[in-house]
A and B are shown apart, each in its own frame.
Chain A
Amino acid sequence: MRFIFKTDYDQDIRLAKHGGQVFWYSLLMALLLAAPWLFAEYWLAQLTFVLIYAIVGLGLMLLAGFTGLFSIGHAAFLGVGAYTEAVLVNAGWPFPVSLVMAAGLSAAVGVIVGLPALRVKGIYLGIATLSFGFIVEEVLARWESVTGGNAGISVKKPGLFGWTIDSGTGFYFLCLAVAVAATLAILNLLRSPTGRAFVAIRDSEISAQSMGIHLARYKTLSFALSAAFAGVGGALYAHKLTFISPDQFNILQSIDLLLMVVIGGLGSVHGAFLGAIFLISMPQFIALSKDWLPPAIGQAPGLQGVVYGVVLIAFVLFEPLGLYGRWLKMRTYLQLFPFYRRGMFKRQKSFQRSDRLR
């Protein structure tokens, strides 16, 4: 059990709370830096996907986990980012500029979606984002002069001041750098007044408003930032796939993204990464288990959907805090060893709070 004696106010907002964290995260960083020499090409590609999804997940986590606004159309932002990147890079723009443009355009679109969010909440917001997602997908499919329509569009390799990143390893390092930057940005945002305002809005809009938080501005900001992260993720996604078409950004992708943050653990930065690992490794596990299962089950086309659904139901029912919550519980159990109580993480059951308060 570690006791931290606080002697300085800065300790409350310091990113690394104690030496142990510095040690473990440095070790993780070293492992990630050494990954290209440790893992085979295939697993490195999977790791790249994990990083890309984690960047998108960080954005969605900011929106859903920290501001309490649920978007069921987040793939639309991913799509906007991916297509912006594809069009700009194909037009010969340098990679950093096009990445910023992808983030910026996604953020602008996020602001547009955020506007109804100021008037509606709860499920209405979910449906507004869902509708928006469908409209964006249709626009991507129909605006053939720019997006290539349903036939899709292929994406050139990212170019950086004359040299292009064409190896998997190089692209992995690019994704790693962006992911680390995104994580640091989110962590810094969350300890700033803006981030605290987001959390206050999530916990209670009315009390946040009473404390002088401008709801409209912060909700729109949250949408914009979340969309920007999704845009960056989408840009990298486009490069990784090298070929994008509108059906990669449909409702199922949006639900996958939501599934990622819910299973990872809403309201935790770790959750975005754990969720991304889950989302990428699950199909691998299913593919592996096919050899063990009887062919009637193993070869059936709907297996993946069933597994996803069952895992999602199980998490919502038994572990609402997600994978990160499970890890916290295990850690607390070990730290407190004989003194862990079952009820320590029990969520208080709130009496049904109605949206239609009367």
Chain B
Amino acid sequence: MQVLQLVISGVAQGCIYGLIALGFVLIYKATETVSFAQGELMMLGAFCALAAMAFMGFPFWLAVVSAIVAMAAFGVLLERIVIRPILGQPAFSIVMLTIGIGYVARGLITMIPGIGTETHTLAVPYKDQVLNVGALVLNMEQMAVIASTAVLCLLLYGVFRYSKVGIAMQASSQNQLAAYYMGIPVKTLNGLVWGLSSAAAAIAGLLLAPITFVHANMGFIGLKAFPAAVVGGFGSLPGAIVGGLVIGIVESLAGFYLPEGFKDTAAYIVVLVMLMVRPNGLFGEKLRKKV
């Protein structure tokens, strides 16, 4: 029973990793760039909701929606202002750029007097509720994480499978030039992808907030989402979620069964092993470079 309990809390944590990793993968697929600012976007999303609830007095659900919309708009804006001018330059410039964005975001939040350096709680309606199923004690916060991730996955699946925008995104992620020739507005789509991944990050932030509190450094959890993305295969959306779950469960079990210290490094050990054994990840496509 205890194993099951551990697995469930691991799944909940893994869903968070998966959601952040989803953001990486969306951006990577669409623009071949890696965003190191994803964790900071998540943090901004949580702060948005906090601001909406605490200072503007919005009810919870309205705050959630407004935070997600605000972050999506922020993502589009970010792409337009800083990312688009350097597209086509070496991938590493963009990595450094997103590291810079992360620094600025974290610094600006910290600079807000009286708020930035404190930790806050996000007053969610389901806080501290517990569900008893048989001998299992299910935490409502964790259940909310799992349920919303499942819903979000279905939604994204629907968008990519059936909507015109989603199909256009798939086309442009497979071959930008060909997509451009077919009349797909690749640049606009890149902006939308950034918006979408920022929204995903905001959702992750909102779900994480009741579990770990809201503070300026909560974005560092984004660094654990990289292993998730790699384990799943960097170019695969379902892979990101599965990778997140793998990392979450391994971490949760390692925290209980292995000596102290393994919990924090479990994710990184898993990813190193993965890179040695299967560099393309669980769901990654095996592609060879041809001249």
Does A associate with B in a complex?
yes
**Complex contacts, A262 vs chain B, CB 8 Å:** 96
A130 touches B96 (CB 8 A): no
Q: How many residues of A contact B (CB 8 A)?
A: 55
Q: Does A297 contact B (CB under 8 A)?
A: yes
**Complex contacts, B104 vs chain A, CB 8 Å:** 305-306, 309-310, 313
Q: Does A317 contact B (CB under 8 A)?
A: yes
Q: Does B47 contact A (CB under 8 A)?
A: no
A354 to B32 alpha-carbon distance, docked (Å): 7
Known: A123-B95, A262-B96, A312-B96. A306 touches B103 (CB 8 A): yes
Chain B 103-125, CB-CB to A under 8 Å as 1, else 0, gives 11111111101001100000000
B110 touches A316 (CB 8 A): no
A352 touches B87 (CB 8 A): yes
A311 to B99 alpha-carbon distance, docked (Å): 11
Q: Does B164 contact A (CB under 8 A)?
A: no
Q: Which residue of the partner chain, among B223, B275, B287, contacts A251 with CB atoms under 8 Å? A: B223
A312 touches B103 (CB 8 A): yes
Interface of A is mostly: helix
Nearest CB of A to B287, in Å: 5
Q: Which residue of the partner chain, among A128, A351, A354, A355, contacts B272 with CB atoms under 8 Å? A: A128
Determine which residue in B87, B94, B268 has the highest number of CB atoms from chain A within 10 A of its CB, and name it.
Answer: B268
B103 touches A131 (CB 8 A): no
- Name A243-279 residues within 8 Å CB distance of B: 251, 255, 258-259, 262
Interface of B is mostly: helix
Chain A 313-354, CB-CB to B under 8 Å as 1, else 0, gives 100110010000000000000000000000000010111101
Q: Does B246 contact A (CB under 8 A)?
A: no
A306 to B287 alpha-carbon distance, docked (Å): 40
Nearest CB of A to B46, in Å: 17
A306 touches B108 (CB 8 A): yes
A141 touches B261 (CB 8 A): yes
Beta-carbon nearest neighbor of A123 in chain B: B34
A116 to B278 alpha-carbon distance, docked (Å): 11
Nearest CB of A to B264, in Å: 6
24 intermolecular pairs with C-beta atoms under 8 Å apart: A116-B276, A119-B275, A119-B276, A126-B95, A131-B268, A132-B272, A206-B291, A262-B96, A300-B113, A302-B109, A302-B110, A303-B111, A304-B107, A306-B108, A308-B100, A309-B102, A309-B103, A309-B105, A312-B96, A320-B89, A351-B177, A354-B32, A355-B32, A358-B175
Known: A303-B111, A309-B101. 17 other contacts (CB 8 A): A120-B275, A123-B34, A124-B279, A127-B227, A127-B275, A128-B271, A131-B268, A131-B272, A141-B261, A301-B110, A302-B107, A313-B82, A316-B86, A316-B97, A317-B85, A356-B32, A357-B287
